[in-house]
Amino acid sequence: MPKLEPGVDPAQWTLSDDGVATARAVGHLLPAGAVLVSSDEPKAHATLTAMVPGRPVTLDPRLREVSRPLEPFSEDFRGARLAYVAGDPPDGWEPPADVAARVDAAVNAHRRPGQPLVLAGHGMAFTTWLAARGLIDDPPAFWSDLRLPDLFLVRDGRVRRLA
């Protein structure tokens, strides 16, 4: 869970102390010897580095969250995000096809034969990418069920939650 900072772009939020503790608690689930790549947003990078202390993590801005105007800080942040992952982006939000293409480009750039790839990113961007690849059937339900942090294995055309 990030530190929620009203008036600050969520792309600049950092990870809360509870978020660091939770990330450390699930780090053992990551595959040994994996290529580690994170969004360059502080909360994603901090999550992955807490999971794998001392291991190098590559930053890739293509794994950033969906670009959008600064949203009002309120309890009702879910509506616009659900519309987005359902394929109806609010005005001014990054087109879903662009998000899927940039995440796909990041995956392809960091993939190494015979080596697992671990990506740390953001819910709407990964949901959009998985939907575009035909790997999830109900993007709004998938996004709504995400936890912070959440771990998924994507292999052989299937998506499976690890923890």
pLDDT tens track for 48-70:
999 999 999 999 999 999 999 87
Provide the token pair at 39: 């969004």
Q: What does the pLDDT average to over 74-97?
A: 89
Cα 34 to Cα 112: distance, rounded to the nearest angstrom: 9
User: Could you give the C-alpha distances from 13 to 46, 76, 78, 105, in angstroms and in order?
Assistant: 10, 18, 18, 25
Among the residue ranges 19-28, 71-80, 91-100, 104-113, the one predicted with the least confidence is: 71-80
Query: What domains, with CATH codes, occur in the chain?
Result: 10-161 (3.40.50.1240)
The beta strand positions in 2-157, using DSSP E, are 35-38, 58-59, 117-120, 152-155
**Neighbouring residues of 34: CB distance < 8 A, sequence distance ≥ 6:** 115, 116, 117, 118
pTM of the model: 0.92
